[in-house]
Chains A and B, each alone.
Chain A
Amino acid sequence: MSNDVKTENFRSIGKPVPRKEDHRFLTGNGRYLDDIEIPGALHACFLRTPFAHARILSIDTEGAQKAPGVVAVVTGRDLAEWTTPLRLAPPIEGLHPTGMTTLPIEKILFNGDPVACVVATDRYLAEDAAEMVFVDYEPLEPVASIESALAEGAPLIDESLPSNLVSHQIFSAGDPKGAIARADRTVECFFSQGRQTHVPIETRGCAAVWDEGRQHLTFHIGTQVPHPLRTQLAGRLKLSESQVTVVSPDVGGGFGQKIALYREELTVAALARHLKRPVRWREDRMENLLAASHAREDVVRTRAAVTNDGRVLGLEMEITEDFGAYCFYPANYIARVVAMILTGPYCIQDYAFDVKAVLTNKCGNGPMRAPMSITSWVMEGTMDAIARELNLDPIEVRRINMLKSEDYPYRMATGEVLEDITPRETMETVLEAIGYEDFRRRQAEDWAHSVYRGLGLCVVVEPTTYGSAFYKSAGIPGSGHESAWVRIEPSGAVNASVGLMGTGQGYETPLSQAVAEGLGVDPAQVTLHLGNTDIAPYGMGSRGARGGTAGGSTLYLAARDAQTKVLAIAANMLNLNTPGELRLVDGRVERQTGGKWDDVDLTLTDVARQAYLDPTNLPEGMEPGLEFHKSFDPPPMTYSNASHLCEVTVDPETGRTMIERYIIAEDCGTVLNSIVVEGQQHGATALGISGTLYEEVYYDESGQNLTGSLADYLLPTACEIPNFEIIPMHTPNRRGPAGIKGMAEGGVMGAIGAVSNAINDALAPFGVVAETQPFTPQRIRDLVRGKNPSG
């Protein structure tokens, strides 16, 4: 895509337009899954196993079948007749194929695994009856950690595999071993990120309505990816895509949890078809915490070969992710991205990685907002460690190694190409904003008074909008394209759709702005239709920070096509030979004469009326109507960047971390709507802070999940999250239409690194390094207990 983006001329894109969807949400008129009224719908409830690992010997459903209100009780054997198993076998070297049935038949694999489904006339009765299903288990030895999964003779989670190491890949570029050999020092680091889960405030749920006469399934579900979900659902029900409509209502948060087709959802769909009655399910919070999808839990080691002045000659990285029991995604998918982009803004060509994913008796992992979130902490934590070991200033170590603006486009050791990013500029900006020298003075003064203040910097290079070419080169099946249509109705009303589905970001407003910009109307005139597969074009949906770059760009291009035809008709109506001197502004045609734009008293409505209702007067050969479809495959990867700077105090007596100040300078290209972008920056950064300090899914040694309520799985409240100071430093992306870059995940990456580095800076007088997240008060206390601070 060539670059002729003149972003300064944008009239709609970039404006802080308050969100269209707010009105229904503020008045209690949002329509979430459970708000949809479906007469006669039955309610499903899943019986979940209390064991971590066990063979199913028998399931006695007889008592439950007779319970009041019960219509059906089904198990994995029933579902196997109505559905096909999931088989995941992409041709990726080092990745073992995996599979699963719709509900377990032989074995349960984690605490919370569903073993039976009860369908009754109301939810209370379904839950009553679920307690009357009796399952006889033969408990097996649980595997509750990476170490036990990889231990000699460990019980196999998936008995068709040779070991629990489900995926293993290595890579080397340049000569990292040689770099270590010729280095002055080798600095080794360890990083461990806790197991987390997404916790959308609206849990999962779905409602399936089977039309026996038309042999058609309507499936209501809050999903980020309506079309890919429909393809999966139809396939596994042995239906064609023509027989399934997926409709996503308003969604109360997703964060990556609402992408996969889960087993409960497939069960509900199969039951509606089997019973020929509507069936609905709403997950409760305990189910959501135990059994929806987990994320993260990875351990990383780095070895950096450095010179005494802090230059990095080479880098080795090993990452192992605890992927849980079930693979809804290829197990290499997340950790491999960490490895591919690790070196970020630094000039490191001698680089090797080793990426492992292991199966354990835990809920399966999936992508969670910034799946690769650990990346920036690992790289920036390594930079800080180099500074610590060499007694250098951590900022100087970054300056020595960081790419300069003239180095871009820059091909990383892994082949990834960075361009149009500004890490140095954002870094210097946040340092200036805090007054770096002044901070070091304050810090030294406070140390003298036993106040432990620390500053953490994290320079983020955020991969966004994974294009088809990236998937192919990373060996991950999938496409990165997006599709959109724009239709101008006979009245001049503008409707548009795209394959994305929002989960709270507020797509309807910024995407309207993209359409408005491309066409030349007011954004208020554009209505977006999202989430219904009968209406939306086949696109890949929402994930990987692609809403703006893939969705916004595709809509913008479709709207540009629309404008071209509108102006061609307008030129014909004005008896001009060419539309070259016409433009559309706020739905009115303007003509340029002598460098000045004049209104010619012709509106979009006039043009639309002719296109639909008077087609014989259209220019010769032109088709009637104003409907436009566009597909767009973004570049392999679109990078954004930011620098996060966090100031903390850590109380060694209590282990409590207080965030005193938080500054972000971000470059995410052309911003569609500054209000929405800032909201995403806040939310992403808060989620990163939360994972660093509070959140952890905790399994004990027997594989029991001890975090089954929001009183156990801690989310921060308004008292724990600070105010963020944001400095926008956006520069356009020259490889995409309208200059858009992705965003909304980098905040997570930045927070994890900045908060961690700040805590370790604060703890420096104690000579300890916090490595295992979350950095709860207990963990900090364990580190400093018995240690005496030295100046």
Chain B
Amino acid sequence: MDGSGKISIALKVNGDSHEVMVAPRKLLSDVLREDLRLTGTHVGCEQGVCGACTVLVDGRPARSCLTFAVQMDGLNITTIEGFNREDGYSPLQQALHEEHGLQCGFCTPGIITTFEAYLVENPDPTEAEVREALSGNLCRCTGYQNIVKGILKAARVMRGGSSGEAVAQ
């Protein structure tokens, strides 16, 4: 801790190590956005309800608006930026694009992080299971139908089934 009350922590984000000085009360969402300039993580409610701020902590979805950054010392964090590829979209990003599974895009990063993890553990979900898992992410624009379609399509592609579409954009 230095004179300002800040604490030095080691954050591993998207595979990169960062040493940051943070106040103990500073939220992980704010540290990601302000200190690391990873602004793809969005803050929609700061009440843990909307899911827009979801990141992965050691591979599990977590609300970065309800998490203090100091609690994350030494853990692996993955944000939306961590799923970007040089050669194009992930199957989930591609399927959401094709199915118009996003409108304003503000809730989208939280949905992608949630389902990049979910589809690894649940490669062949039913529509009802996808809807249940998606219920932690609020979307005001789409009515969810195309998000669900996109996720189911991504699951098919990731299982090696044919979607008929190349993943490269």
Pairing of A with B:
yes
Give CA–CA (A778, B84) in the complex, Å: 46
> Could you give 29 example pairs across A and B, Cβ below 8 Å?
A19-B97, A25-B105, A26-B102, A26-B105, A28-B79, A28-B80, A30-B105, A200-B104, A200-B140, A201-B44, A201-B50, A202-B44, A250-B105, A253-B104, A285-B47, A504-B105, A504-B106, A505-B103, A506-B103, A675-B100, A679-B142, A686-B144, A710-B49, A717-B135, A719-B132, A719-B135, A721-B145, A724-B143, A724-B145
Query: Which residues of the other chain, B, contact A23 by a CB distance below 8 angstroms?
Result: 97, 169
Complex alpha-carbon distance, A255 and B40, angstroms: 22
The answer to whether A360 has its CB under 8 Å from any CB of chain B is no
A251 touches B104 (CB 8 A): yes
**Of A25, A710, A711, A715, which one neighbours B102 at CB under 8 angstroms?**
A25
A interface, CB within 8 angstroms of B: 18-19, 21-32, 34-35, 37, 124, 199-203, 250-253, 255, 284-286, 503-506, 675-676, 678-679, 682-683, 685-687, 709-711, 715, 717-719, 721, 723-724
User: Contacts of B107 on A, CB cut-off 8 Å?
Assistant: 201, 252
A201 and B138 in contact (CB under 8 A), knowing A26-B97, A32-B106? yes
Smallest CB gap from A289: residue in B: B45
Q: Which B residues form the contact surface with A (CB < 8 A)?
A: 23, 25-26, 33, 37-47, 49-50, 52, 79-81, 84, 89, 93, 96-98, 100, 102-109, 112, 130-132, 134-148, 169
From B39, B52, B135, B142, A683 is in contact (CB under 8 Å) with: B142
B108 x A253 contact (CB < 8 A): no
In contact, A687 and B140 (Cβ under 8 angstroms): yes
**8 nearest CB pairs, A to B:** A28-B40, A504-B104, A25-B105, A252-B106, A686-B143, A28-B80, A682-B143, A717-B135
State whether A683 touches B141 (Cβ < 8 A).
yes
Q: Return the contact of B144 from the options A29, A35, A718 (Cβ within 8 A).
A: A718
B145 → A minimal CB distance (Å): 5
Q: Is the CB of A28 within 8 A of B41?
A: yes
Which single member of B41, B132, B146 contacts A682 (CB below 8 Å)? B146
Distance in Å: Cβ of A517 to nearest Cβ of chain B: 21
Which residues of chain B have C-beta atoms less than 8 A from A678's C-beta?
100
Count, A-B residue pairs, CB within 8 A: 165
A26 touches B104 (CB 8 A): no
Q: Which residue of B lies closest to A203 (CB)?
A: B44
Bound state CA distance, A124 and B138, in angstroms? Answer: 26
Please determine whether A27 and B47 come into contact, CB atoms closer than 8 angstroms. Answer: no
A285 in contact with B45 (CB, 8 Å): yes
**B104 in contact with A717 (CB, 8 Å):** no
Other CB < 8 Å A-B pairs besides A26-B112, A29-B40, A37-B37, 9 of them? A30-B105, A34-B33, A34-B43, A201-B44, A201-B52, A201-B106, A683-B140, A687-B140, A710-B47
Enumerate chain B residues within 8 angstroms of A715, measured Cβ to Cβ: 138, 140
In the complex, what residues of B have CB within 8 A of residue A719's CB? 131-132, 135
* CA of A284 to CA of B45, assembled, Å: 7
Contact A679 B100 (CB under 8 A): yes
In angstroms, how far is the closest chain A Cβ from the Cβ of B158? 16
Q: Which residue from chain A places its CB closest to the CB of B4 in the assembled complex? A: A68
| Closest residue on chain B to residue A35 by CB atoms | B39
Distance of A718 Cα from B111 Cα, bound (Å):
12
CB-nearest residue of chain A relative to B90? A26
Q: Are A22 and B97 in contact (CB under 8 A)?
A: yes
- For residue A198, which residue of chain B has the nearest CB? B140
Residue in A124, A199, A252 with the greatest tally of chain B CB atoms within 10 Å: A252
Asked if B131 and A718 sit within 8 Å, CB to CB, the answer is yes
Q: Which residues of chain B have C-beta atoms less than 8 A from A685's C-beta?
A: 143
Please tell me which one of the listed residues B43, B84, B144 contacts residue A28 in the complex, with CB atoms under 8 A apart.
B84
* Residues of A close to B138: CB separation below 8 A: 201, 710, 715, 717
Kindly report which residue of chain A lies nearest to residue B82, judged by CB atoms: A28
Given known contacts A21-B105, A253-B140, is B80 in contact with A285 (CB within 8 Å)?
no
Instruction: Please tell me if the beta carbons of A285 and B46 are within 8 angstroms of each other in the complex.
Output: yes
Q: For the complex, what is the distance from the CA of A194 to the CA of B164, rounded to whole Å?
A: 46
B67 to chain A, nearest CB (A): 16
Contacts of B139 in A (CB 8 A): 201
CB of A783 to closest CB in B, whole Å: 27
- From residue B90, how far is it (CB to closest CB) to chain A in Å? 9
Cα(A478)–Cα(B102), bound, Å: 32
- Minimum C-beta distance from B20 to chain A (A): 15
Nearest-neighbour CB distance to chain A for B128, whole angstroms, equals 8
Are B132 and A28 in contact, with the CB atoms below 8 A?
A: no
Q: With A and B bound together, what is the CA distance between A683 and B49 in angstroms?
A: 20
A201 x B140 contact (CB < 8 A): yes
What's the least CB distance linking B60 to chain A, in Å?
Answer: 19
In the complex the two chains form, is A504's CB within 8 Å of B141's CB?
A: yes
CA–CA, A532 and B169, complex, Å:
29
Specify which chain B residues have a CB less than 8 angstroms from the CB of A687 in the assembled complex.
140, 143
Residue from A26, A27, A284, A676 within 8 A of B46 (CB atoms): A284
Among B45, B104, B141, point to the contact of A709 (Cβ < 8 A): B45
Selected contact of A679 from candidates B25, B44, B79, B146, CB within 8 Å: B146
Residue ID in chain B nearest A26 by CB atoms: B93
Residues of B within 8 A of A683 (CB): 103, 140-143
CB of B142 within 8 A of CB of A26, answer no
* CB atoms of A718 and B100 under 8 A apart: no
| Contact partners of A25 in chain B: CB under 8 A | 102, 104-105, 108
**Nearest residue in A to B138 (C-beta to C-beta)?**
A715
B93 — which chain A residues lie within 8 A by C-beta?
A: 26-27
In the complex, chain A residues whose CB is within 8 Å of the CB of B46: 284-285
B145 contacts A723, C-beta separation under 8 Å = yes
How far is A25 from B42 in the complex, measured between Cα atoms in Å? 11
Smallest CB-CB separation from B133: which chain A residue?
A: A718
Which residues in B have their C-beta under 8 angstroms from that of A22?
Answer: 96-97, 102, 105
- With both beta carbons as reference points, the residue of chain B lying nearest to A708 in the complex is identified as B47
A29–B89 Cα gap in the complex (Å)? Answer: 13
Shortest distance from the beta carbon of A223 to any chain B beta carbon, whole Å: 14
A669 to chain B, nearest CB (A): 20
Instruction: Select from chain A the residue with minimum beta-carbon distance to B65.
Output: A285
CA distance A31 to B106 in the complex (A): 10
A27 touching B80, Cβ below 8 Å: yes
| Cross-chain contact of A124 among B23, B81, B145, B169 (Cβ < 8 A) | B23
> Contacts A200-B140, A285-B46, A504-B103 given: A26-B98 contact, CB under 8 Å?
no
B161: shortest Cβ distance to chain A, in Å? 21
A252 neighbours in B (Cβ, 8 Å): 42, 44, 104-107
Whether A18 contacts B47 by the Cβ 8 Å rule is: no
